[in-house]
Amino acid sequence: MISPNTIQQITNRIDIIDIVGEFVKLKKRGTNYIGNCPFHNEKTPSFTVSPSKEIFKCFGCGKSGNSITFLMEHEKYGYVEALKWLAARYNIEIEETETSPEQKQLIQTADSLYIINNFAQKFFTSQLFDTETGRNIALSYLRERGFNEEIIHKFQLGYNPDSRDTLAQALIANQFNPELLPKTGLVVVRNDDQLVDNYRNRIIFPIHANTGKIIGFGARIIGKNDRAPKYINTPENEIYIKSRILYGAYQARAAIDKADECLLVEGYTDVISLHQAGIENVVASGGTSLTTDQIRLIRKYTNNLTIIYDGDSAGVKAALRGLDMALEEGLNVRLVLIPDNEDPDSYVNKVGASAFNDFVARSKKDFVIFQLEVMLKEAGNDVSRKSTVVNQIAETLSKISKAEDFTKQQDYIRQCAGLLRIDEAGLTNLVNKYKREKISKEERKAQSQQPDLDDMPPPPDMMGQPEDVLDDTTRLLAQDEAHERNILRVLLEYGLRSWDETTNMADYIFSELEHFHLETPALEKLYEEYRSWYQQGLEPTIKSMLYHDNEEIRNLVVSLSVFPFELSQNWDEVLEGMNIVNRDTSKQDVLMSVNYYKLRRIKKMIEENQRDIEHAAVDDDFKKLLDVHKYLKDAEREITRQLGTVIIK
Ligand SMILES: [Zn+2]
């Protein structure tokens, strides 16, 4: 981990206008800066950056955050990567905290593997262009396949000559650790302990991480050879983890972002041919079914995935297996089948880029509907098989569980019911049945496991939820949560200001809420984290806590600091009405927030107590409960009186 000291140095230096300005053209307007939003298409700027709050917000698409989250969103960096980018920019030396010996070993091995791969790539490229056999055999083969030199360089293609150990000798001569070399898959150990080349007489396709570093290789045989596999790939090692790799993602990411669509093909050569034709938003999965990691990688850039496979490919069946997972992750998946035994590579070479694009646009078929049609065709007139199909499609549709995808699910139900010639309401019921089963299964699972705070999802952002989706209980909960969020807002905003001569606002809030705990786990966690920073003298504020190393806490702080707050807006109006708007209203804000929160909690306690009174069996209990009732009522009256005073003052 990067040390807190380094993070402190970085955050001291950050200038959000400078960081965002690197990627967005900003103009000053008043105290803020505005520009065209980099996250959605717009002609009039609604993307606003506030240098004083160190926050950006787009009033068009709603994206918001600070410098770090901007880099994470815009450049798809991880948290640590973003910090490293900032450190490099401000010439800050990164100090890392102690890592365990195992971690150290892992990092060292990974670094060595990168260095070996980097060396090997240069070796392969030079073999391809600078040797006679490379040019005669490999380069001429690539040219025959239609690749020009520019694209060969862009994808850093290379050639491993047809000799026993040319690469192995070069690696040994450069004193790379001989024990690590077999891990890279570039060489293998023979019986006589000699290292020999593994990719003899093959075209080499380097595979890049998102940072551009080479994590492994695919090696394709030249010409036909029935005794050898067509492709050999790097074996799994510390940096090559197959389930996380999408070939071409490094070269395609900007284009995917821009097109808001990712094309998925099967092979390396499909990716390269499409690039050469100017279609750059394309990646390859290697023809296996998509993994969750790969789906999440795509979702970093877009929600729209178009799978382009050749019609008879076994890959189509494989891809179909990944469908339910893609739906759960909220991807819109479409499918295009290339006709006549062509693959994307040969097809784009045959018809050219614009005809290829037209064909894709014309033939895009929704994946769910495609799957249903395939299943229906297979079922034919068999009634029992058709009922299996109905159940399967209902289960698939039940996986669409994100609230924002509700309309999408309704659309699917309508279309599928039509294709199946069954009643729409019936299908809806069946889908809901699967949904309930899934939820109760998850609940059982959750109950059997000890809940872990770190695994809890962040609270839903209530501002974005359409009212009618929420039932009454959720709405009540939302209200409670809103009050809790408000407590944290005032804490973050005013906590370090003084309440009176001896105490801060934070001290006041802590003592007033001593007997309560926040009911939303994520908010309680932030509250406790604030308290612990405060008690250690770390000066928690919105700005400092925006750089907390826990992502959940960072996101909460952003959402608390950016969104206008319903509750506080209400009393802003009250205060405005009394012409005290220009005075510092922080104290009133804190008082009202704390008291409204307490009032709400006490009212709930009174209700609960009243229910207990109704059901009290023993006289003794009854008397105790009445005492509690009186105590709570007194507290309620006192708070109401205080609130009244605040407003009148
Ligand atoms: Zn926007």
- How would residue 541 be classed by pLDDT, with cut points 50, 70 and 90? confident
Residue 397 has pLDDT above 80, yes or no: yes
pTM for the full predicted model: 0.59
User: d(Cα 183, Cα 177) in Å, to the nearest integer?
Assistant: 11
| Predicted local confidence at residue 621, as pLDDT | 76
SS3 track for 73-84 = HHCCCCHHHHHH
Give Cα 434 distance to the centre of its chain.
Answer: 26
**61 alpha carbon – ligand 1 mean position (Å):** 4
**Which residue carries 């808001």 as its tokens?**
260
Contact (Cβ atoms closer than 8 angstroms) between residue 349 and residue 146: yes
As a whole number of Å, the end-to-end CA separation of the chain is 51
- Give tens-digit pLDDT for 185-234: 999 998 878 899 999 999 999 999 877 889 999 999 997 777 888 899 99
Q: Could you tell me the distance, in angstroms and rounded to a whole number, from the CA of residue 225 to the centre of ligand 1?
A: 53
* Exposed e or buried b per residue across 592-605, where buried means at least 16 C-beta atoms within 10 angstroms of its C-beta: bbbbbbbbbbbeeb
- pLDDT value of residue 508: 92
Torsion 469-471-477-479 (CA) sign? positive
Residue 257, both tokens: 């972002």
Count CB atoms within 10 A of the CB of residue 304: 17
Report the separation in Å between the CA atom of 400 and the middle of ligand 1, taken as the mean of its atom positions. 25
Structure letter (DSSP) for residue 175: T
User: By C-alpha distance, which of 354, 314, 324 is closest to 434?
Assistant: 324
In a 3-state reduction of DSSP, which class is residue 15?
coil
The distance from CA 210 to its chain's CA centroid, rounded to whole angstroms, is: 14
Residue 507 Cα to ligand 1 middle (Å): 39
Measured in angstroms, how far is the CA atom of residue 513 from the centroid of ligand 1? Answer: 38
What confidence score (pLDDT) does residue 467 get? 32
Question: What is the Å distance from ligand 1's center to 59 Cα?
Answer: 7
- Between CA 282 and CA 274 the distance in angstroms is 7
Give the three-state DSSP class for 389: helix
- The predicted-structure confidence for 478-487, as pLDDT tens digits, reads as follows 567 778 888 8
Distance 296 CA to ligand 1 centre (A): 21
CA of 418 to the centre of ligand 1 (A): 37
Does the pLDDT value for residue 567 go beyond 80?
no
Contact (Cβ atoms closer than 8 angstroms) between residue 357 and residue 364: no
Q: What is the per-residue pLDDT for 579?
A: 46
Q: How large is the angle between the packed helices 505-512 and 586-615, nearest 10 degrees?
A: 0
d(CA 38, ligand 1 centre) in Å? 7
CA of 467 to the centre of ligand 1 (A): 23
Distance CA 128, CA 137 (A): 9
Task: Return the SS3 of 93.
Answer: coil
Please, what is the Cα angle at 421 between 420 and 425, to 5 degrees? 95
How much distance in Å is there from the Cα of 562 to the middle of ligand 1? Answer: 15
Which residues are CB-contacts of 273 (< 8 A; sequence separation ≥ 6)?
A: 146, 147, 344, 345, 348, 349
Give the number of residues written for the chain.
Answer: 649
Report the separation in Å between the CA atom of 555 and the middle of ligand 1, taken as the mean of its atom positions.
18
Strands 214-221 and 231-233: antiparallel
Ligand 1 centroid distance, CA of 173 (Å): 53
Q: Tell how far the Cα of 48 is from the centroid of ligand 1, in angstroms.
A: 9
Ligand 1 centroid, distance to 549 Cα (angstroms): 26
**Rounded average pLDDT over 609-624:** 78
Which is more confident, 621 or 387?
387
User: If pLDDT is split at 50, 70 and 90, which confidence band does 648 have?
Assistant: very low
Comparing 646 with 166, which gets the higher pLDDT?
166
Predicted confidence band at 576 (pLDDT cuts at 50, 70, 90)?
Answer: low
| Mean of the per-residue pLDDT values of the chain | 82
Residue 536 vs residue 473, higher pLDDT: 536
Distance (Å) from CA 646 to ligand 1 centroid: 39
* Cα–ligand 1 centroid distance for 42 (angstroms): 8
The H-or-E segment that residue 372 falls in is: helix 367-379
**Band of residue 584 on the pLDDT scale cut at 50, 70, 90:** low
Distances (CA, A) of 82 to 18, 487, 554: 15, 30, 14
- Between the CA of 36 and the centroid of ligand 1 the distance, in Å, is 8
Q: Could you give the CA distance from residue 62 to residue 363 in angstroms, rounded to a whole number? A: 33
Per-residue pLDDT reduced to its tens digit, 442-465? 666 555 543 332 333 333 332 333
Q: Encode pLDDT of 254-312 as tens digits.
A: 889 888 899 999 889 999 999 999 999 999 987 677 888 888 888 878 889 999 988 76
Q: Identify the residue with better confidence: 570 or 439.
A: 439
Q: Each residue of 20-59: pLDDT tens digit?
A: 998 888 988 877 889 998 888 888 888 988 887 788 888 8
Q: What is the pLDDT of residue 277?
A: 93
Statement: residue 89 has pLDDT above 70: yes
460 or 118, higher pLDDT? 118
Q: Mind spelling out the 3-state secondary structure of 18-76?
A: HHHHCCCCCEEECCEEEECCCCCCCCCCCEEEECCCCEEEECCCCCEECHHHHHHHHCC
So what's the pLDDT on residue 262? 95
pLDDT of residue 573: 53
